[in-house]
Structure 1
Amino acid sequence: MSDTSETLSTDNDRYTVPALERGLRLLACFTPSQPVWSAPDLARTLALPRSTVFRMLTTLEGMGYLQRSGTEYRLGLAVLRLGYDYLSTQPLAQLAEPVLQSLCDRLGFTTNLALLDGTSVVYVARIAPAGAFQGAVRVGSRLPAHATVLGRALLQDMDADQLRALFGGSELPQFSESTPRSVEQLLQLLQQDHERGYAMGEGFYEPGVSSIAAPVRDAQGRIVAGLGMAVAFTEIAPGRMADWVEQVRAAADELAGHLRTQHPGFLR
């Protein structure tokens, strides 16, 4: 390691606050797959003394980041407020809202913008017409990237090695009959999506729902977001799908243009 690297490492360690780091690691334990924790379980998972974990839990509960029911804890409303504050200040989400609104008005269906976060997609903007089908997701929802059409739009530039590194193996969790079962199957879908410039699926994640999505690219051509629409099977009009595809792609390109002109140095 060079002297410069050692200096940077030392400086980073000097400015790290261990107590804050432990508190954030504790909050990160609360996930959709395990939303409820007890103090002893957290202590074991984090390899920390129970007394330390109890003090962190008490502090986070007092600030509203956790809520307690008996001996169990779950995330509190302060986390939700923090998440919405993050989303509302993101330039991409702000730029996307009028584009999504215009697309929603033209099509009459729900429109979405999502970002890639690890192996998940996170919905950061969403417009739904009054009284129309909206689906199960909301702003802030996190879904598996390999099992969603928006995820395919976000992943479509990756090769096999990148996908294996991301998903940590070749087998993928199943969420529907349409979910690719392996990285190889996912890669085949992504190659098709890349060639045609969009992703499309019927019941790919949510039964009875068709989705179309296209990538949003920055000035360097990198995919920074996925823009899409969702429609119930019962609302699909014969012969309209090709037009919907072109409108979704045009909206993604429009958002990319706004991003390049208004935030040329944008980094995800």
Structure 2
Amino acid sequence: MTAAPAASLSAAVAAGDDAADKEKDKYTVPGLERGLLILSQFSRHEPVLSAPEIARRLGIPRSTVFRLLTTLEQLGFIEHDATGRDYRLTAAVLRLGFEPMATKDLTELARPILERLRDATGCTCNLVVRDGRSVVYVGRVAQHSPYANTVHLGTRLPAHATLFGRVLLRDLSFETLQTLYPEERLHQVTDKTPATVAELYRLMQHDRHTDYVFDKDYYEAGIATLAVPVWGGGQKIIASLGITVSSADDDTARLSHLASQACRAARELSGLLDHIVIATNSQH
């Protein structure tokens, strides 16, 4: 006797969903939707596309695609390539997204990415930039944990003695590094701190062949750090994104998961910065 009311309720819910979809469709502009779908087909790996290929991908008649392409071309968002047959995006498309994005600073762009990384890993996540011989914590999303380290927003640490610093210094040549650190011996924070510029440079050369750097008790006892480079325009490292965990956390599978998530977050932030010049204080 209870099945009929349940079926009626399901039917009512389905009818409600259909009504909601129809209400949304009433305000949808198919031409605009298709035009935006066409723009989204172009990518870094496929910068040039033909009209037939676009029609095939979207399942739209070629005549319709031609009209949409002509409209987008007249608006200045696409242009013909050198062959005169295929199409490519113009800089006008970049201005749609990147000019508003450029009004945001690095920390604003990074904040939601750090929050998602914290939620995915259950760890405190940081964004660090370099200012001369120091690294500065400019973004931090904390996760409650039984251990704690001493950093907070604005904390400055010696670049040569931190994993974040090694990531941020690694673009420098040996000569530039020597100019930055003219002293014969570097200040030792722990027994893992490189003692000389030559030793620091050797570590940086090794780091260049890895997606991330990880070590325990490198700057602070009981704390392990995983750091990943964040790239800006011109393939220049402008920040380092990372995770802090307890040094006792030595599960290999978990480390692999943390590294994968951190690298993904760094790529996402790097993608946002790819066409934006971010002003930082890092100086050679």
Structures share a fold, TM > 0.5?
yes
What secondary structure sits across from 1:143 in the alignment?
strand
Alignment-mate amino acid for residue 129 of structure 2: L
Q: What is the TM-score with the length of structure 2 in the denominator?
A: 0.59
What secondary structure sits across from 1:135 in the alignment?
coil
Q: Distance in 2 between matches of 1:227 and 1:100?
A: 8
* Partner residue in 1 for 2:279: 267
- Contact 1:218/1:259 (CA < 8 Å) preserved in 2? yes
Q: What is the TM-score with the length of structure 1 in the denominator?
A: 0.63
Q: Which runs of 5+ in 2 are unaligned?
A: 1-102
1:148 aligns with 2:185: no
1:245 aligns with 2:265: no
Pick one of 92, 105, 127 that aligns with 2:119.
Answer: 105
Higher relative contact order (CA 8 A, sep 6+): 2
Alignment-mate amino acid for residue 267 of structure 1: A
- Contact 1:114/1:121 (CA < 8 Å) preserved in 2? yes
Q: Distance in 2 between matches of 1:91 and 1:110?
A: 21
Residue identity (%): 37
Alignment-mate amino acid for residue 160 of structure 2: H
Q: Distance in 1 between matches of 2:104 and 2:242?
A: 18
Q: Which runs of 5+ in 1 are unaligned?
A: 1-88
Displacement after TM superposition at 1:90 (Å):
6.8
- Contact 1:128/1:134 (CA < 8 Å) preserved in 2? no
1:208 aligns with 2:234: no
Aligned length: 178
Q: Distance in 1 between matches of 2:104 and 2:150?
A: 23
* Partner residue in 1 for 2:61: none
* Partner residue in 1 for 2:212: 198
* Partner residue in 2 for 1:60: none
- Contact 1:109/1:133 (CA < 8 Å) preserved in 2? no
What secondary structure sits across from 1:234 in the alignment?
coil
Displacement after TM superposition at 1:127 (Å):
0.6
Q: Deviations over 1:26-48 (max 9, x none)?
A: xxxxxxxxxxxxxxxxxxxxxxx
Q: Which has the larger radius of gyration?
A: 2
Alignment-mate amino acid for residue 266 of structure 1: I
* Partner residue in 2 for 1:161: 175
What is the alpha-carbon root mean square deviation over aligned residues? 1.7
